[in-house]
Structure 1
Amino acid sequence: MAPNTGVASAAGRSMDPSMLHSGKWWNHGHIVKLNLLLIIPLITSYANGFDGSMMNGLQSVEHWKSYFGYPKPEDLGLFNAIQSIGAFCAIPISPYISDGLGRKNGIAIGAAIVLVGAILQTATQNLGMFVGSRFLVGFGTTFAQMASPLLISEVAYPTHRAPLTSLYNTLWFSGSIVAAWSTFGTFRINSDWSWRIPSALQGLSSIIQLLFVWFLPESPRWLINRGRDEEAKAILARFHADGDASHPLVSFEYNEIKEALALESEAARVSWLDLFRTPGNRRRMRIIIGIGVFSQWSGNGLISYYLTKVLDGIGITSSNDQTLLNGILAIYNFIIAISASMSVEKVGRRPLFIISTAGMLVAYAIITAMSGTYEKTKNADAGRTLLAFVFIFNGFYAIAYTPLLVSYTVEILPFLIRAKGLAAMNFSVMGAIIFNQYTNPIALDALKWKYYLIYTIWLVFELVYVWLWATETKGRSLEETAALFDGEDAVAELANRTGHDMAESRGVKRAGSDSQDEKLNIEHSHREVA
């Protein structure tokens, strides 16, 4: 089921709003407990966010630079890219772990590998050990990153699925903040611990996950797909209906899952070619691969991993100033991304993508102009303006590409190709990252400010792309979302098959219901449960 299915179902034509909780969600202990447990998969983004900010910070730490012989631009490319190469290598395997062993086991396996990598990185004795440990961190992160958003979207309470799944990628900045401020604090230590302590902190989220992942509920959709229906019903009852197995919401969700899965082939028969086999899936993949590439090729990769070089270019060269700015930027990005995550259902996906891309284009054009002006004239005002627009650019990026990259991908994919579709998105992201991490330090060193101009031109292409093909999915049920990509005829059978069972599960005759009255009831329900 798509992650917005529950949200949309709560608001869609097939779910009776009376099934949902009354009053505020925090007054219901079972929902509070579920949301607290979902923090465990949510923090998976910590390790990935930590990495980019840590590498930014370490490039300003004198002991790190001297320990590795003052890395050249091509060495920096390897240090940064090897984590992404590790992640890239794990992508073909990770969907089979999530689909075969379950979402919980995928998180646990990934966390264990990341923890081993963080330990080895902390204990690094030479260049090869440092590179190998970072490969392991990337490799393990992919397993957890594949399973976590799937579990969140498939376990969350219906009205919470969209914001929680959007919040997942937003917590990238939790790792970024810890890394930025730890390097700001430790660069003053007059020993190798100035960089070993931040390296150790990269394993923090993995320790938390390995301690508490066993308390998480498994995905009801995964359990039903494996023939473990009673376990799935028990989880739905416990976390969505306060233990009441006879609650109509439990029957509704169970039947909805069963009917959706019944229309699709067995998971074992799903191949990578299915991602492109139908016109609807090709439309999906056009969007997914596009936003995956754009998430890294919008110029943010230059700022995220090479902020030190950007600051050097405008005369901010002290370790104190650079690590301080890195820390402030991380907190600023986090606040923007959290705000955007909470507004996904109100504003919609398409407007956020368009506003984000257009804002980045304008900001990067000004960054390009100010960088060129500063390089030629050393004008302090140009340098300060460039720094201000680095913040503005990051704010626009965080509006859409942070909260929506994963959640939008997951919500437009049917259940049985969801893991592979998410893997395809990760392929595009990691491919773009690896290219950037090898190219950016060399190109920036050779072209200076002119390198920014390439990203400015590319952002024009991105804006046209999202304007043409970003599809709005706000407030849509499973049937309605599928119809956007597959057409009405492709989902008619699902609507027909589910209609009788849904009415039966509620004990209500729905034939001939007035759609306008229902719409008003639904809108009232949304206001009540918000």
Structure 2
Amino acid sequence: MTAPVQEFQTQRFAKWWKDLGLRKLLAWQATILISQMTTGYDESVVGSFQSMKPWVKDMGYPDSSRIGLITSIVFVGGFVGALVASPTADYFGRRVGMFVGSTLTFVGTIIQTAAQTAGMFIGGRFLIGFGISFTCVAGPSLLFELAHPAMRGTISSLFNVLWYVGSIIAAWTTFGTGYMSTSWSWRIPSLIQGVPALLVMMSVLCGLPESPRWLCANHRIEEAQQLLAKYHSNGNLHSALVIHEMEEIHILLEAEAAAKKSGQNSWSVLYRSPANRKRIALVATIALLTLWNGQGVIAYYFSPILTSIGITSTPQQTGINGGLQVWNLLFSLAGALLADRIGRRTLWMISFVGMILANVPLTISSAMYAQHGYKGASYTVVIFLFLYDAAFNLANNPLLYCYPTELLPFAIRAKGLSVQVAVSQAALTVNQYVNPIALDSIGFYYYIFYLGMLILGTCIIFFTFPETKGKTEVELAALFEDPKLDRADPITLEGLEAALDHVSEPCEKSAVVTKNQASNSL
């Protein structure tokens, strides 16, 4: 890590709350984090609706196939929206992407709340999913690009942690309204779902800062420098940190400009160079590994799992589920805080090995109860369900958006995140239909399939996931261009310029600025 960032970490990072610029920046970033509450809220609240008699009546007593459509349509909307979210964030800015996504989500929430038929409810949910995809593309990008270098890893890791905050709020809201006998039992929780989107819309209208990298890419260099100075150095335009950040942005953007001139400003940029193919392959792999590791079965079918081991009363199931959500939030926070301490790669390995260690006794205990009815085995299952989720949330939750955002350079960040969101939504749709059938057909044997997936995932992480801890954006951009860089000691800015001279197809030698040129351009 370069000197200006190290200096901030050692002298000021421990007292960020005394820094006016950072306090303002963190307040703005909190509104970006809030956007992810909508996702967690949505995926929790719909399951609760299905146990409410007024909702069942208002939806026309839907059968299992209609309920499957109601649940999965939000993922379909997310898949379609992901294809549009990237150009919006790239051409109009990250702020516009956040505003469009939040507006669509808010409108979808209103339609869903006012629904008089299942068709209207489904239409609202499609729009909600469509909007969520925008905030899932623009949100992590803006969060990462606004963050102070010394806080970037931790702040980026917190984005998906807010998923559980939304989930917990949804669980307790529906618990409170579930006793109502009118349609307001589900309309009130549905209406509350629009609150995070409304807050994000208001924050954009009230001046949410734009990404400095996007400003520089659109020739608004002075505005970008002022923004960095305001939030990273309390208005000091000539601080070493601001100058360093501007130099870093210029080096990256000049190199990426060559890619645009060579005809790589379209989606083809994702696969034309070996480096970008590696990045996109990793991003898609992350999306699949986080959804096909067995935790999704626990998350979406917790009640049937508890029923299968003899825990059938509603108070017991509600209490265990409520405790599990708080447990998940705590371990997600722990993972976000550990990401900058032990590294992303290490955290991924701990998470997947931990899930393997929990999967084996979970499968054995489930089998013992299913075959012999041992009461003690049912309690063991609950314990290992909690441990499974703990291991999952150490990495899979906080790093789901943070790690891909670090792997993707600015020029393809929005496109790459769109790919991740699209793959995630497609995988979620598959899960929605496959998991219940598999659980019903083969029961605990389904865990064995996921044990194989966990072992495969661990091997993929060990052999292909690079470490991104402590690296600047320029170092991250150069990471995939030279296989030796991810094993090398931290390199200097001058060394990075030399590394970028040898980047693959998109970047030609003439496109790279030297340190002096970058300084003069300020």
Name the TM-score, length of structure 2 as normaliser: 0.89
In the other structure, the counterpart of 1:232 is 224
In the other structure, the counterpart of 1:475 is 470
Q: CA deviation at 1:328?
A: 1.8
CA contact (8 A) 2:243 2:519 kept: no
Q: CA deviation at 1:51?
A: 1.6
SS in 2 for 1:157: coil
Q: Deviations over 1:224-273 (max 9, x none)?
A: 11111121122112111212223232222222212210111366842222
The one of 443, 446, 450 equivalent to 1:451 is 446
The one of 492, 503, 506 equivalent to 2:498 is 492
SS in 1 for 2:293: coil
In the other structure, the counterpart of 2:492 is none
Q: Deviations over 1:466-491 (max 9, x none)?
A: 12212111122334333431116995
Change (3 A) 1:338 1:422: same
- Cα separation, 2, equivalents of 1:71 and 1:189: 20
CA contact (8 A) 1:83 1:136 kept: yes
In the other structure, the counterpart of 1:53 is 44
SS in 2 for 1:422: helix
Q: CA deviation at 1:66?
A: 5.0
Change (3 A) 1:122 1:323: farther
The one of 208, 212, 217 equivalent to 2:209 is 217
Identity %: 37
**1:511-526 equivalence runs, <5 A:** none
Q: Does 1:204 align with 2:195?
A: yes
Which range moved further: 63-72 or 212-221? 63-72
CA contact (8 A) 1:52 1:304 kept: no
Q: Does 1:166 align with 2:172?
A: no
CA contact (8 A) 2:102 2:201 kept: yes
**1:6-25 equivalence runs, <5 A:** 11-12=1-2, 17=7, 22=12, 24-25=15-16
The one of 122, 140, 146 equivalent to 1:155 is 146
Change (3 A) 1:15 1:30: closer
Q: RCO (CA 8 Å, sep 6+): is it higher in 1 or 2? A: 1
Change (3 A) 1:462 1:398: same
In the other structure, the counterpart of 1:252 is 244
Change (3 A) 1:479 1:97: closer
- Cα separation, 2, equivalents of 1:193 and 1:367: 39
Change (3 A) 1:124 1:310: farther
Q: Does 1:176 align with 2:167?
A: yes
In the other structure, the counterpart of 2:406 is 411
Change (3 A) 1:105 1:149: same
Q: Deviations over 1:316-335 (max 9, x none)?
A: 33333333332222111111
In the other structure, the counterpart of 1:274 is 269
- Cα separation, 2, equivalents of 1:71 and 1:218: 44
SS in 2 for 1:168: coil
Q: Deviations over 1:194-246 (max 9, x none)?
A: 22222222111011111222321111110111111121122112111212223
Q: CA deviation at 1:314?
A: 2.1
CA contact (8 A) 1:73 1:442 kept: no
The two structures, once aligned, show a CA RMSD in angstroms of 2.4
Which range moved further: 143-152 or 183-192? 183-192
Letter in 2 for 1:458: M
Name the TM-score, length of structure 1 as normaliser: 0.88
Letter in 2 for 1:135: F
In the other structure, the counterpart of 2:360 is 365
In the other structure, the counterpart of 1:6 is none
CA contact (8 A) 2:4 2:244 kept: no
CA contact (8 A) 2:344 2:468 kept: yes
CA contact (8 A) 2:109 2:194 kept: yes
Q: Deviations over 1:66-91 (max 9, x none)?
A: 55466554344322211111000111
- Cα separation, 2, equivalents of 1:502 and 1:231: 16
Letter in 2 for 1:500: N
CA contact (8 A) 2:247 2:515 kept: no
Structure 2: which 5+ runs fail to align? 486-494, 502-511
CA contact (8 A) 1:60 1:319 kept: no
Which range moved further: 148-157 or 457-466? 457-466
Letter in 2 for 1:107: M
Q: Does 1:108 align with 2:99?
A: yes
The one of 60, 69, 80 equivalent to 2:71 is 80
